[in-house]
Amino acid sequence: MPFPKDSLYANPLGEVGAFKFDEAVVKVFPDMIQRSVPGYAAIISAIGLLAGRFARDDSVCFDLGCSLGAASLAMRRQIVANNCRVVAVDCSEAMVEQCRKNLADSAVAGVDVVCADIRDIPIENASVVVLNFTLQFIPLADREAFLAKLYRGLLPGGILILSEKLAFDDPRQQELQTEMHHLFKKAQGYSELEISQKRSALENVLIPEAFAVHRQRLKSVGFSSVEVWFQYFNFASMIALKC
Ligand SMILES: Nc1ncnc2c1ncn2[C@@H]1O[C@H](C[S@+](CC[C@H]([NH3+])C(=O)[O-])CC(=O)[O-])[C@@H](O)[C@H]1O
Ligand SMILES: O=C(O)C(=O)Cc1ccccc1
């Protein structure tokens, strides 16, 4: 059965409320993320391949802000290490409930789904940590302390895969990349009204930063190497390595 189509912003809303990961979003989320994030499917596949390469015996792979568990499933399918758990965490009860159902339906074993704020959970004994479009929803003031905790929880030789919507310092680049993202959404079937109402809903909720800011902060919490491995307009995925 195809996924239900996202039409949450198709009709004029008197007032556009702040974006929330509630039941209504959960129902259409696979369609919404696929048609809104350029390169999403390619990133999910690559997360699986990277987990296959980096997951270690007797360690944990974390999928933080897991939504419906797409990255956890991709990892689980590629991990060959022994006694390696995947722990998927999200603070939206609606997401977690549907994520558990999806995993049960997929008959993939070995993923623990936890409903919690990723700022509050212990991160320990990790060989792989995935933040696939999640850090952008964490308040700016909390990002450094959270990443420092994440770094401490990674084993030597561990990897962080960080995917984010990016901002650009150069206003011309910012304008162009935003316009290209909107053209991408139009080509995916979203109307101007849908695009503009969703943009309002995401204001002050999804806060993008420039790659230079991400790199600097990742280095300052301890990562020895930070690179972009994928970018499609203003959406990028980075690899940060711990020595
Ligand atoms: N503090 C928090 N603690 C836990 N979860 C959080 C927090 N803040 C936001 N979330 C959760 O982070 C997820 C972000 S979506 C991730 C896609 C997924 N990674 C995917 O690969 O499909 C990205 C997007 O929709 O743009 C939502 O499920 C939030 O509930
Ligand atoms: O839709 C957008 O404009 C985005 O920036 C991506 C997105 C995708 C799914 C939920 C929230 C944001």
d(CA 130, CA 162): 6
Binding site for S-adenosyl-L-methionine, by residue number, is 40, 65-67, 117-118, 132, 199
- What per-residue confidence (pLDDT) applies to 48? 99
d(CA 73, CA 80): 13
Nearest Cα to Cα of residue 88 among 109, 107, 106, 61 = 61
Written as six digits, the tokens of 168 are 């650009």
Taking the CA of residue 25 as reference, the ligand 1 atom at the shortest distance is 25
d(CA 79, CA 93): 27
- What per-residue confidence (pLDDT) applies to 97? 98
In the predicted model, is pLDDT for residue 204 greater than 80?
yes
- 191 — phi, psi (to 5°)? -85, 165
Q: Whole-number mean pLDDT of the chain?
A: 98
Going by pLDDT thresholds of 50, 70 and 90, the confidence category of residue 199 is: very high
| 74-130 pLDDT per residue, tens | 999 999 999 999 999 999 999 999 999 999 999 999 999 999 999 999 999 999 999
In the predicted model, is pLDDT for residue 2 greater than 90?
no
| 177-194 pLDDT per residue, tens | 999 999 999 999 999 999
- What per-residue confidence (pLDDT) applies to 163? 99
Domains of the chain: 40-167+205-241 (3.40.50.150)
26 lines ligand 2 (CB under 6 A): no
149 CA to centre of ligand 2 in angstroms: 26
| 7-24 pLDDT per residue, tens | 999 999 999 999 999 999
d(CA 13, CA 9): 8
Nearest Cα to Cα of residue 124 among 62, 66, 57 = 62
- What per-residue confidence (pLDDT) applies to 1? 65
14 CA to centre of ligand 1 in angstroms: 27
36 CA to centre of ligand 2 in angstroms: 6
- Contact partners, residue 217, CB within 8 Å, separation at least 6: 143, 144, 147
Burial letters 180-199, b for 16+ CB under 10 A, else e: ebbebbeeeebeeebbebbb
